[in-house]
Structure 1
Amino acid sequence: MSVYTDCPIRFLGDTLTILISFTMKFTFESQSEIYYMLKALNETHTAIENGHVGLINDQTRKEFDSLRDKFQDFVLSNL
């Protein structure tokens, strides 16, 4: 089972910001691997919500939430 997601990366230069987007493929060998990935994403989300994760801005938070949402959709489609 595999899930694909877009992963934007920002490079800051002297005068401009360069945004590179690529697609990552996550492959899972078992249902337990999927469970632990979803658990880790949910625990990270909770830590962000509670302010336990520093150095996160609105854009980074949106990108993380997008990854989490895509993964949850993947899990639901593979039940």
Structure 2
Amino acid sequence: MDETIATHLAEIVELVVATIGAGVISAVGIYLESLALGALSGGQFEVAVWLFAAGLVALYFGVYALGLSEVIPRLRQLRRSLAQP
């Protein structure tokens, strides 16, 4: 089993990096959305719209572009390759 993990080390590292990247970008998106709510409650409508749009873009890239399109398929591929004898 150790030999299998050693041969797939590059895939595991790529999966970890993509997962961390998706999490960080999603966290930035959530932070921008909270800033947008604060700006909206403070009466700064234009700033709130810009922050909201930037938060949506960050959430799109974090959740969909990296999370669903990269991390999930890589995880499935790694599980299949590790399950093969």
1 or 2 for the larger relative contact order (CA 8 Å, sep ≥6)? 2
- Alignment TM-score > 0.5, same fold: no
| TM, length-normalised to structure 2 | 0.39
| TM, length-normalised to structure 1 | 0.41
More helix by share: 2
More strand by share: 1
